[in-house]
Amino acid sequence: MFKDLKFVSLGIRALFMISGSFVIAVGSVFMINVEYLGLHPFDVLEYALTESLGLTFGAWHWIVGLFMIFLSYIITKRLPKLGVFLEFFLVGAFIDLLILTELIPDTSNMIIAVFFMLFGIVLVSFGTALYMSAKMGAGPTDWFSLVVSEKWGISFGRMSIFTEGGAVLIGFLLSGPVQIGTLVFCLIYGPITDYFLQYLQKYKMI
């Protein structure tokens, strides 16, 4: 019986992980389709690499994720949970699928574009909360910030600013879309994600 309960619990966690990854991808594509308003810091980098060097957005999402995991291992000698690898693989695959199928439209209407940007941020935040609630690991950039901050004895928040700031800088140098949306994302992503995590906990969904 206990094994059955553990199996059900693992299934629910896997469902949250996959659903969260898909929602993150949907939110990301909403923002990618109005990239002239700006993107998430690491999406800025991945978009710039896609435009400059080819390959798909999802492929660069995988490459950057693997690089962050490799860099974190070089610094800390710690390997992440399987869920960290699954997160960036699923998100990258879903992003490429959504872009290929063109299920999410783009727009040149500024009012609609602003809505797409804000809606995308909300979806990425909700998807992150779903994924985190599965307790199977975080994304590779959060993993990097977490383990390196512990290794160097600095706060996770400060390390996250440094990590995302580096991604924005490299993306900007590669002509990535650093605009008002990038700043808006940085300001509201954390609080919205916290809200959704508290909501899931309040209603005992996790």
Distance of CA 42 to the CA centre of its chain: 8
pLDDT class of 1 with cuts at 50, 70, 90: very low
Is 129 part of any domain? yes
Is 24 domain-assigned?
no
User: Does residue 194 form part of some domain?
Assistant: yes
pLDDT band at residue 8 under the 50/70/90 scheme: low
Residue 12 maps to a domain: no
| Dihedral in degrees, nearest 10, Cα atoms 199, 120, 20, 96 | 180
Mean pLDDT score across all residues of the chain: 87
For residue 7, is it within any domain?
no
Structural domain count, the chain:
1
Q: Which domain holds residue 131?
A: 30-202
pLDDT at 56 over 60: yes
- Range with lowest mean pLDDT among 1-5, 105-109, 126-130, 163-167: 1-5
SS3 letters for 2-40?
Answer: HHHHHHHHHHHHHHHHHHHHHHHHHHHHHHHCCHHHCCC
